[in-house]
Structure 1
Amino acid sequence: MVTIGSSPRSIHREARPSQSSKEASNADMTRSSCFLDRELAKPTITPAMRRKGWIQFATLCWSIFVAGWNDGTVGPLLPRLQSVYSVSYAVVSLIFIINCLGFLTGASTYMYLTERFRFGVMVVFASCVAILGFALESSAPPFPVFVIGFYFSGFGMSFLDAGSNAFVASLAENTSNKMGIMHALYGVGAMCAPLVSTQFARIHRWSFLYLVHIGLTFVNAILEIMAFRFKSQEGTSRITLLIAKHKEIGQPPPEKTKESEAGVNKYKQVFRLRAVHLMAFFIFTYVGVEVTIGGWIVTYVIQERHGGPNSGYISSGFFGGLTVGRIALLWLNKKIGEWRVIFLYVMICIGLELVVWLIPNLISGAVCISFVGFFLGPIFPIVMNHAGNVLPSELISGSIGWIASFGSAGAAVFPFITGAIASSTSIANLQPL
């Protein structure tokens, strides 16, 4: 009998293998078996699978573009809304509060609904809910009905936001670069929107702006149907040779936590993670500042710097800086370190805001606001990428949904406080805030 691992000479020298040759043979077989197991566990990614993965990523980028478009339209419209509905700063700020309530509803139920009805189903449903909200807004109804439209659009955008971030954060390849690219598309949407909404704010049918929203969101729903086919996230994006449903772009299968195996509810697991709450409070402040600047800067420039009807383009400059920063500063983030570089960006932004506040010049203020967007831009994708790195893969979607809900709360609280203070004093308080 020939033993695996024996040399040809040893076969002729001895009829029966020695004990040491048996042990060596067993060791070789064990190593070969372990190597084979590792190879089988690795995802085999064909060009077709990788191409489909890029299609899915491009679809998520479009979803984030639509979310950015939705956020970027508000600022240039605020003066027109005050004029049409004859409301104060505080009352018009209710759109931020109602939008936040819709976003909180969606983000807090994201984990349950995606597990219950599948990721592919819920992102399409969310797009339909957002279309309902835009349809209400496009008809220029009475102000209370107009505000209700923001609840539905907020709910829909929450799913697009949380779903896209959770999906990309759980990728195995080039996560930080893809996160930066995707959020740059948010900036592109938010940059293009003021260019369009500024024009609509001048015409009688200003509310027809939301017909553009409907068209963009409808295209998003079609793309999501084609890319995800109403399947779960795992069923559309992951591949191993042992689990047939994990077959697309090389994401590692989700590892169950010990608490999950013990039957602990996922919501309880998320709420027990200290890192989730720290990131949530950080995003609460960050998004609040971002939306306040993007939403109120046009009114500030018109009232305090005597800007003309083209002041709405300053909002485009802010979001344009946001877009460029999320791509152009990727190398600096890696060189300095993602968490250390955040402190640098924050200090630069504070200095630029002081220039906008203390130097009463329209041009210098517009330039500084663009650079504020440039340095603020990378912060959000850095946090989302960090969440994907430090959190259990099984809890990423729920955790990011919770973090995103805090961001939405900041997007409501900060602009509302600004509007309330502006009603009793003036919009000049925007920069100190």
Structure 2
Amino acid sequence: MKQNKGQSTNLIPMISITILFFMWGFITSLNDILIPYFKGVYNLSHFEANIVQLAFFIAYFVGSLGLFFLAKKGKDPIHKYGYKTTLEIGLYIAGTACMVFATTATLNLGFGVFLIALFMLGIGLTFLQVAANPFVAMLGKAETASSRLNLSQAFNSLGTTLGPALGGYFIFKIFLENSVGASAVRTPYLILGILLGAIAFFLNIMKIDEPVIEKTDTNKKDSIFRYTYVWLGAIGIFFYVGAEVAIGSNLVAYLTSVSDGKITESLASSYLSYYWGGAMIGRFLGAVSLSKIKTNLKVLYMGILAILSFLLIYTINFYLHSLSIETVWYFLIFMLLNFFFFYIGKSKPARMLAIFAMVNSALLIIGMNAFGFGGIWWIWAILAIGLFNSIMWSNIFTLAIDKLGDKTSQASSILIMMILGGAILPPLQGLIADLSQNISISFIVPLIGYLYLIFYGLKGYSINKK
């Protein structure tokens, strides 16, 4: 992709796309609220409730696979219509899905129709996934593209942080009281559908120069799968996304279980925002840690960002759910550990991936009560995993596409397909919870994923790499 020369920053489109990234993260994390909500409304098992994530994330695989084959023939939406139009298509599909969701809640059409709407929503977000990043990059000068992308990604993390806190508050506290069937989710998704449609409309009427898409030889027979570290990285993406989503999907059930009901579903949703908020904090720290800033300034900036991010999460949850500092101070200890392990990682992607996967494995074992710690430490050990998930996506992705030249786009498509892990591991964890009648034991599913990531960070990333 070539950047258009003399292109100035497009403020209004940048604001629109930043809002979009926020909503994208917000919508994705709302699934973690839908699981316990549907479980109660439709009297579902853990396995059945986790089909929510199967319906949503399987769409990423189906959509990416379709776009991959269309791209090989030069017939995908980006080649035919451009980045902006592809983005609009994704927004309209996602907006329509939210409207179907709201209609299903109004007419009480049943759990199966909700799953169809979630699949549609996942397809829409797939289009956004493949078009949003280059679209942001083209909204200004090439030398400032990285800062724009980082800003948008930061707002995506903010969305995943606020989604559980706000979604749980409105669904479980505001709309649940007078709801019939699953009608408590009607208003939130109606609003989301309107906002997505509005953003699509504004993007449509804006005149933005498209980047030039360079044509490459699509008849090359050299398979991307001959690069061992690439397909091992794809498996890494599968396990990372699957583990992260599985933990988030089952946290509400876990918290209510290990607290013997003292933590209600509404209150558990606020704890969940610390899990996703930890990922936001870790990404801010990772962005600084992996930069070229001087070491003393890195420590200062990382400290400031960590404090500000924590205060944001704490303030929202204190106001909505009355979670006081006496309850959440444990999280500060894990933030300090996160800071320490960033230092140990020494800004090396493979090393940091392996270390953070080791830490998450230990935290999961604590959360499963293998060491006999008190219940409160189980809870915060599991919640702290978000802090160490933070850099995994970017580090796996970077390691897996290293030194591929013109095959980078093929590898990227394969890696995006492996978001499929988010569809497979959550129902598997739910099934184990049902069979064992113990939600804590079910966390062995994400544990296996993190053990694989230790291997990839130590050895897998370098196998057959020239």
Alignment counterpart, residue 371 of structure 1, candidates 359, 374, 384: 384
2:92–2:200 contact (8 Å) kept in structure 1: yes
**TM superposition shift of 1:323:** 0.7
Counterpart position of 1:264: 219
Secondary structure of the residue aligned to 2:444 is coil
Q: Does 1:159 align with 2:133?
A: no
* Structure-to-structure mapping, 1:4-403, within 5 angstroms: 45-46=5-6, 49-52=7-10, 59-110=16-67, 111=71, 112-138=76-102, 139-140=104-105, 141-165=109-133, 173=143, 179-199=149-169, 200-202=171-173, 203=176, 204=179, 205-208=183-186, 209-225=188-204, 229=208, 236-237=210-211, 246=212, 254=214, 260=217, 264=219, 274=228, 276-306=230-260, 307-308=263-264, 309-334=266-291, 335-358=346-369, 361=374, 363-385=376-398, 390-392=403-405, 396-403=408-415
**TM superposition shift of 1:57:** 5.5
**TM superposition shift of 1:279:** 2.7
Cα distance, 1:189–1:402 mapped onto 2, change above 3 Å? same
1: CA distance, partners of 2:205 / 2:283: 28
Cα distance, 1:315–1:416 mapped onto 2, change above 3 Å? same
1:180–1:381 contact (8 Å) kept in structure 2: no
2:23–2:159 contact (8 Å) kept in structure 1: yes
Counterpart amino acid of residue 225 in structure 1: N
The structure with more radius of gyration: 1
TM-score of the superposed pair, with normalisation by structure 2: 0.69
1:129–1:155 contact (8 Å) kept in structure 2: yes
2:31–2:52 contact (8 Å) kept in structure 1: no
1: CA distance, partners of 2:257 / 2:444: 16
Which digits, 9 at most, give the CA deviation of each residue in 1:76-115, with x for residues without a partner? Answer: 2322211211221222222222223322222123332322
Moved over 6 A (4+): 168-171
1: CA distance, partners of 2:114 / 2:255: 26
My pick for the range that moved more, 212-221 or 195-204, is 212-221
Which digits, 9 at most, give the CA deviation of each residue in 1:37-74, with x for residues without a partner? Answer: xxxxx97854xx2413x766655443332221122112
Counterpart position of 1:417: 428
Q: Does 1:427 align with 2:385?
A: no
1:78–1:92 contact (8 Å) kept in structure 2: yes
2: CA distance, partners of 1:176 / 1:385: 15
Counterpart position of 2:304: none
Secondary structure of the residue aligned to 1:336 is coil
**TM superposition shift of 1:354:** 2.5
1: CA distance, partners of 2:229 / 2:17: 25
**TM superposition shift of 1:296:** 0.9
Counterpart amino acid of residue 124 in structure 1: E
**Cα RMSD for the two superposed structures:** 3.1
2: CA distance, partners of 1:279 / 1:290: 16
**Unaligned ranges ≥5, structure 1:** 1-41, 230-234, 238-245, 247-252
**TM superposition shift of 1:272:** 5.9
**TM superposition shift of 1:352:** 2.1
Cα distance, 1:104–1:302 mapped onto 2, change above 3 Å? same
1:131–1:214 contact (8 Å) kept in structure 2: yes
2: CA distance, partners of 1:227 / 1:324: 34
**TM superposition shift of 1:390:** 3.8
Aligned residues: 362
My pick for the range that moved more, 83-92 or 60-69, is 60-69
**TM superposition shift of 1:118:** 2.5
Cα distance, 1:121–1:45 mapped onto 2, change above 3 Å? closer
My pick for the range that moved more, 144-153 or 198-207, is 198-207
Secondary structure of the residue aligned to 1:427 is coil
2:238–2:418 contact (8 Å) kept in structure 1: yes
1:100–1:151 contact (8 Å) kept in structure 2: yes
Q: Percent identity?
A: 21
1: CA distance, partners of 2:9 / 2:441: 50
**TM superposition shift of 1:281:** 1.4
